[in-house]
Amino acid sequence: MRKVLLVFAILLVAGVIVADRVGVRIAQNEIGKQVAAQYNLQTQPEVTIHGIPFLTQAIQGDYDQIDVKLGNYTEQGVTVGDVTIEMRGVKAPLSEVVGGNADNVTARTATASAVIPYSVIKQRAPKEVQGISASGDNLKLDLAGALLGTPLKGSAVVSVKPSAKGIVITPISGGLEGLPQVPAMGQLVSWRVPVANLPVGSKITEIQPTPEGLKVGATASDVRLNDLPNDVPKG
């Protein structure tokens, strides 16, 4: 009898584990559908629900952490890549998830990150900017232009800062060969990339140059999924 009970207990635990894993896949798929519909995505994002057991979280409607990988995201005509949203303290009643309703799905915090490729930043730059690369917390620009038909070359170091209207790029140092560092340099290497928000309804507050581009981050609190703006990203 003990052996029978032991086998039954093992099968019961195995069944719970299987049900747990099946349940998490169903929930991840449903959340992916809701996010895709909310943002008009062409492809369904990858969703990961953290925490074990899942069924306990699902029954309670409280999730420790849910990650969503959107891929590409477009704002103000500028497409950024590798967009990831990390939501913590998610409250999603089981009936809401099963019914495909996001009215009462909330997150205590939602942190988004993305990478803006240098090729995208260069599209908005003055024509004299020929190349962009990381230089610590700043950017290094390769410059080339002409003055009265004379070719000029040089470089500049610029800062990158978030603002209400986007990422502002302004010079720190630099110049063109044959010319002094004049105030005109400010106009030559100053511009703005109109990306101020990421898809959690919050403004960009963190910028870090990387070899691939500018990695940007934004965090919002008390996020209601159904209240997020219907931007139109393309993934």
The domain limits of the chain are: 2-115+218-227, 125-193
| Concatenated DSSP letters of 31-64 | HHHHHHHHTT-SSPPEEEEESS-HHHHHHHTEEE
Q: What is the pLDDT of residue 7?
A: 29
Most confident range (mean pLDDT) of 44-58, 115-129, 167-181 is 115-129
Q: Are 200 and 108 in contact (CB under 8 A)?
A: no
Phi, then psi, of 78 in degrees rounded to 5: -110, 125
pTM of the predicted structure, to 2 decimals? 0.77
Tens digit of each residue's pLDDT (9 = 90 or more) over 182-202: 455 666 778 999 988 887 767
Q: What whole-number percentage of the chain has pLDDT above 70?
A: 72
Name the token pair of 206. Answer: 């963190």
Determine the Cα–Cα distance for residues 226 and 222; give it in Å rounded to an integer. 12
> What phi-psi label fits residue 220: left (phi over 0), alpha (psi between -120 and 50 degrees) or beta?
beta
> What phi-psi label fits residue 158: left (phi over 0), alpha (psi between -120 and 50 degrees) or beta?
beta
Mean pLDDT across 140-144: 88
HSE-up of residue 127 (Cα within 13 Å, Cβ side): 2
Which residues contact residue 121 at a Cβ distance below 8 angstroms, ignoring those fewer than 6 apart?
132, 169, 193, 213, 214
Report CA Rg, the chain: 24
Mean pLDDT across 157-186: 75
Beta-bridge partners for 155 = 142, 175
